[in-house]
Amino acid sequence: MKIFSKIYIALILLFLYAPIAVMVLFSFNSSGSVWVFENFSLDWYKELLFNTSMLNALKHTIIIAVLSAIISTVVGTAASVGILALRKKVTKSLVMSATNIPLMNADIVTGISLMLLFVFFGKLLGLHESLGFITVLVAHITFNLPYVILSVMPKLKQTDSSLSEAALDLGCTPLQAFFKAVLPSISSGIFSGFIMAFTLSLDDFVISYFTCGHYQTLPIVIYNMTKKTVTPDAYALSTIIFVVIFVLLILYNTVQNKSSVKEAAKI
């Protein structure tokens, strides 16, 4: 039985990671072929350095990911504090469902509706081009927010409410009390919310596609390439992105583990 379960796990991992492994492998292939591996080379990585359109898109993606992650983390944390402070249970659960709906909503619906809204406002303001940097940024903040709230909220709930009272009692203004007493206890939740937002923003295609205008992000540029042929430098770039996300994920998990070990130690 033990052997079977091991084989089973191996198979699952194989199916999950075979595509990525193949991609990583062929990013080091000296020829452009997708079925013959000739020699190991870093040519495609070098090529990538000179592919300005792709590098430009990468820059856009990173700017959007960093900015949207920062803004949604700040706004989401503030929102969590506000939602928890709501007195009436009915309003609390109403607001929570309202923030959760975008999580379940199909990306394509979110994308199209945001595009409509942006174009509408653009026309209203008489802008020549309504879609661009700002709209894609706002779109990313929008879909990141619920994830941040979802990861900050439980931490905030766990935090002893008398902590902020203790800080007030010792002379802190309410704002100081939040930064000095509450924030340190929920920092792991905020951090994981940030990482989550960053990675989600990094690989979003559907919503960006509808809202970015000329400010094209990487997934969109790669998608456009498929209309012609995908060159192996795209494998190289995807490999890099995979590694970055992999590292972030490990980081995320260690932070989560550390804080859960701390919780366990307290009990």
Residues that bind other proteins (CB under 8 A): 160, 162-163, 165-174, 176-177, 180-181, 184-185, 262, 265-266
User: What's the min distance (Å) between Cβ of 31 and other proteins?
Assistant: 55
User: What's the min distance (Å) between Cβ of 260 and other proteins?
Assistant: 14
User: What's the min distance (Å) between Cβ of 186 and other proteins?
Assistant: 11
| Distance between first and last Cα of the chain | 37
Q: Which is nearer to other proteins, 36 or 265 (CB)?
A: 265
User: What's the min distance (Å) between Cβ of 173 and other proteins?
Assistant: 6
User: What's the min distance (Å) between Cβ of 152 and other proteins?
Assistant: 16
Q: Which is nearer to other proteins, 152 or 220 (CB)?
A: 152
CA distance linking residue 147 with residue 192, whole number of Å:
10
By C-alpha distance, which of 117, 93, 121 is closest to 210? Answer: 117
Give me 4's structure tokens: 């079977």
Q: Which is nearer to other proteins, 82 or 184 (CB)?
A: 184
Which residues 6+ apart lie within 8 Å of 36 measured at CB? none
CA distance linking residue 66 with residue 140, whole number of Å:
10
Q: Which is nearer to other proteins, 116 or 170 (CB)?
A: 170
40 three-state secondary structure: strand
Q: Which is nearer to other proteins, 129 or 165 (CB)?
A: 165
Which residues 6+ apart lie within 8 Å of 199 measured at CB? 65, 245, 248, 249
